[in-house]
Amino acid sequence: MSIVLQGSTSGSVTLQEPAVAGTTVLTLPATSGTILTTASTIAGTQGASLVLLSSATASSSATVDFTSIATSGYSAWRIILTDVSPATDGVSLYMRFSTSSTFQTANYWYTSRVYGTDGGASGDSSGSAAFINLTGLAMDNSTVANKYGGELVIPNPASTTTNKIVTQQAAYQLNGGVYVFSAGAGSYTGGQGALDGLRFYMSTGNISTGNFYVYGVKNA
pLDDT of 191 strictly over 50: yes
Predicted local distance difference test score (pLDDT) of residue 125 = 81
Nearest to 158 by CA among 97, 93, 75: 75
Nearest to 211 by CA among 97, 64, 6: 64
Rounded CA-CA distance 86/77 in Å is 24
pTM of the model: 0.77
Rounded CA-CA distance 3/74 in Å is 37
Query: Residue 180 CA to chain centroid, in angstroms?
Result: 22
Rounded CA-CA distance 41/32 in Å is 13
Model confidence at 138, pLDDT cuts 50, 70, 90, reads confident
Q: What is the mean pLDDT of residues 107-113?
A: 94
Rounded CA-CA distance 34/32 in Å is 7
Predicted local distance difference test score (pLDDT) of residue 212 = 98
Predicted local distance difference test score (pLDDT) of residue 58 = 97
> Residues 131, 108: contact at Cβ < 8 Å?
yes
- pLDDT tens digit string along 33-86? 554 444 444 344 445 699 999 999 999 999 999 999 999 999 999 999 999 999
pLDDT of 189 strictly over 90: yes
pLDDT of 21 strictly over 70: no
Average pLDDT over the chain, rounded to an integer? 83
pLDDT of 206 strictly over 80: yes
